[in-house]
Structures are given as structure tokens and as C-alpha cells.
Amino acid sequence: MSVYDEVEIEDMEFDEDLQMFYYPCPCGDRFQISLEEINSGEDIASCPSCSLLLKVIYDPEDFCDSDNDDDAVSVDGELVACM
């Protein structure tokens, strides 16, 4: 699979309401990848308007499946790490 570029997740915009990460695409739309996809280990964001793909660089240990609270470590009710 060929990707247009690689971007660190910290450089992406996060929409808390939609739980989606976005990054500008050269076509004028935005690459997108959901938090659910990140939690499941996905690292490819797609653009809904064109065929370009973006590789998202992140540390999987910073994200975990929210359905599995056994893996989550929290402090004062805030998620700080996943095991």
C-alpha cells in the first residue's frame, strides 16, 4: 500500500464531539481516522474525497480500547496510560 505522507498524531486536529482526528489533504478535504480505529491499532487515515492515504505515527501504548478497562490506568478518574 502506498501512502501520500506520514504525520505524527500530535500534528493532527482532534474533534472531541466526533472522536475523530483530522489532517489537511492536498485535495482540499481532510484525512480522517477515528479514535476507535486508533484504539484498534489502525494507522492509516483516508481522505473521503480522493484516493490519498496518510500514515499516522503514534505510540500504541498511549491509546487503548476503552471497552477494556482492565488495560487502562487512571489517576483521579483521568486516563493516563494503557498497559
Domains recognised in the chain with CATH numbers? 5-56 (3.10.660.10)
pLDDT digits (tens, 9 = 90+) for 8-60: 999 999 999 999 999 999 999 999 999 999 988 899 999 999 999 999 999 88
CA–CA dist 51, 10 (Å, integer): 23
- Bridge partners for 7 per DSSP: 56
Sheet containing strand 20-24, edge to edge, reads: 5-8, 53-57, 44-46, 30-34, 20-24, 13-15
How many CB atoms are closer than 10 A to CB 76? 5
CA dist., res. 77 & res. 11, Å (int): 26
pTM for this model (two decimals): 0.74
Q: Could you tell me the pLDDT band of residue 5, with boundaries at 50, 70 and 90?
A: very high
